[in-house]
A and B are shown apart, each in its own frame.
Chain A
């Protein structure tokens, strides 16, 4: 019996034959995301659909005994990628999608790893509470939002989804099932009431871990009270007034508005039937403001207007409402919005792809970052640059750049990758970090500006996962960094 058929038999014995596949076609469907460019295809060898933490525990024990890499994935993940770097087992957690608890008295919610963040968000909303909503699309799973943080609408006031994670259930590489943070109290009479236990906070070990320290099977969230009053505003600045626009964003952030997005005008050109940005204006802030009573709302609205106008921003009626309160969400345009292939600003066939998703940097550096990106795009002949900055409560931005390109043209793809590499180098030299640290999108240089932290992480990884089976691409870069030293 071959090595592969032996491991396959053991995995089938755990989950049953219908929830394991080695079919090349089935595996290929998990292997890439066109939005990141189809020149990168990383295919798992085996896909498994577990339904319980106990099944995952047994799977990890088998994987450890054969030293086979394991990568977890929800339905979306990593801007839709989340595929393994080195083949092996892909754990598709989409079937673990139950909401286990919504506690309105204590404002807590617990869901299984594969539950859609939108599903949890809606159920919480129905009960008078709020979870800032993950990005634009149908949403990553709750676990993906915790291990590969999704910066949400609402990040300006509350930070990322990750900041609301209070507890986790995790299957360690050894197969041991542990509960950290508030989940440690799950079976007590008090319930999952508090992130902190008597001792160090272990939740942070697994958040943003990209699944490298353990497979998250349950996530406990702290919920927010749903504000009753909402307003959506937009202000715009000319091309040569970027600094003023960013100053206004910073001041508005400090008064705790719900959400600020920073965009260039190309973002609106993606939707030809949406609101128009006047020709003389270029950068736009869309600002969501809320309040628990009308007075609070009006007070914040007035403050925002004064801040933006003091920096020369021009008020654009309707744009803010369109951005924040449309049906449906941004990537599911209504019939009035033409398919993107017809509406790309650069009119280039085939594609609209990420250059970066997402760069984390101080908000004050936005002007230099935008200008550098624009300069590099011009140098490499790339067009249709769209910027989408998610302004966070700590005066940082999680910034996304997309462009239009024909990804069937190898020369264009080559220039696209060169542009990415050059920007990445520039950005990391200044201390930038990446939301998505998945190789191959963010290769080796990612660790070089945070070496101290990575050395201790490497030791922990060695202790928890001596065979380096979990998301091995994430930390194998240690070896390269060490070799460079």
Chain B
């Protein structure tokens, strides 16, 4: 098994676009099905009015799933099709939110766009700045930020163990206190987490999601080797991007991937259901929950974070209209939109935060990229809303000082 496996998988999608009916359900404003003569559609098929963030921002069809799919079908068939900066902009402004693929299971537009990115990389496309630099940073420093050393952690975490926390670049370099919170939570449950620390490498999500499968494979090889050496059996992940990469892509990229990969929210839910996690403190807050794209639509983890939040005494969960499979992207856009198209990124975040603010003054989510993006956008746009990681809420419920 290798990156060729993933490439073959993506290649399979190239042929499907030729039978797209161009019905525009993937982006056209309005319902994807109006009624069935007797009743309105159930939640499962009650899509939001506004579906594709990039179409809603840029307005032209090229920036919709169907528009990108049409371009993909031409690029795939014409080896001499000019790979221009504009083509790259059209393709890389896709947020990878995957709402289109929830709507159209027949053609799975998001995977076609991913296949197109892979093709553009293969043809030597010039990626939007600063993506090339971020990817070079991974090669040189093992993280997207190009930092020599992560900030110091005020606790000693073993480097070897069966249960290993995989933090990812954002937590390691921007939200390091979250590492302490998570380790403390599991410690209180009798689980001593290990962490690779400086040995941990970027998971490869950023290059992988943007078509550089080879680099994602390289990162997979490095991380799996170190995880094996550390004696890992189960990998606990807090970032939704890392989680998707480790859970679903690593097994395709690395021979004999032996680990169980689990998100912190799934782990908390298991502990609650088994009666091991009991909350001692009330958290008197009204909160709303934002489903991260790569935990929700990409990984189908919807129930566990809600179970966790609803079990913290005192918390009242108010759901947004766009939730679960219909949740709006936070604006991070698989990180590329955040780094390369900040105005677009901020516009999406603003829309999401205002939607959240209608329900509560506190927003909980389960992805370090979402937290970073929305916290930044709330400040930029002067929207008074508190953004929490689910581990912070758990820590408060358990009476562990939340220091994030």
Contact = CB atoms under 8 A, between A and B. Distances in A.
Interface residues of A, number: 66
Interface in A18-43: 18-19, 21, 23-26, 28-35, 38
B291 interface: no
A282 interface: no
A138 B30 contact: yes
11 contacts: A18-B59, A29-B66, A49-B60, A80-B22, A80-B23, A119-B49, A121-B35, A133-B34, A139-B34, A332-B25, A339-B106
B6 interface: no
Interface in B31-68: 31-38, 40-42, 44-45, 49, 59-62, 64, 66-68
B308 interface: no
Interface of A: 18-19, 21, 23-26, 28-35, 38, 47, 49, 75-76, 79-81, 92, 94-95, 97, 115-116, 118-119, 121-122, 125-126, 130, 133, 136-139, 230, 288, 290, 324-329, 331-335, 337, 339-341, 349-353, 407-408
A258 B40 CA distance: 19
Contact of A328 (B17, B41, B60): B41
Given A331-B106, A332-B106, A341-B15, A47 B22 contact: no
Question: Which of A92, A341, A349, A351 is the most central at the interface, judged by chain B CB atoms within 10 Å of its CB?
Answer: A341
B106 A97 contact: no
Interface of B: 15-25, 27-38, 40-42, 44-45, 49, 59-62, 64, 66-68, 70-71, 73-74, 77, 84, 86-87, 90, 103-108
A399 B28 CA distance: 26
Nearest to B91: A25
Given A328-B41, A350-B18, 4 more contacts: A26-B61, A80-B22, A324-B36, A352-B19
B31 A118 contact: yes
A97 B67 CA distance: 19
Contact of B60 (A29, A329, A351): A29
A18 B23 CA distance: 25
Contact of A122 (B27, B34, B64): B34
Contact of B105 (A35, A332, A408): A332
A122 B30 contact: yes
Contact of B30 (A49, A115, A328, A351): A115
A332 B102 CA distance: 10
Closest 7 CB pairs of A and B: A80-B22, A119-B30, A137-B23, A116-B30, A138-B25, A29-B67, A29-B62
Contact of B37 (A81, A325, A331, A335): A325
Contacts of B64: 29
Contacts of A349: 15
Nearest to A228: B38
Contacts of A26: 60-62, 86, 90
A28 B74 contact: yes
A76 B23 contact: yes
Contacts of B28: 75-76, 94, 116, 138-139
A35 B77 contact: no
Contacts of A326: 36
A181 B24 CA distance: 30
B62 A28 contact: yes
Contact of B16 (A24, A81, A328, A339): A339
A324 B33 CA distance: 12
A138 B23 contact: yes
Contact of A329 (B27, B32, B40, B44): B32
B37 A290 contact: yes
Contact of A125 (B35, B49, B67): B35
B66 to A, nearest CB: 8
Contact of B71 (A28, A35, A47): A28
Contacts of A19: 59
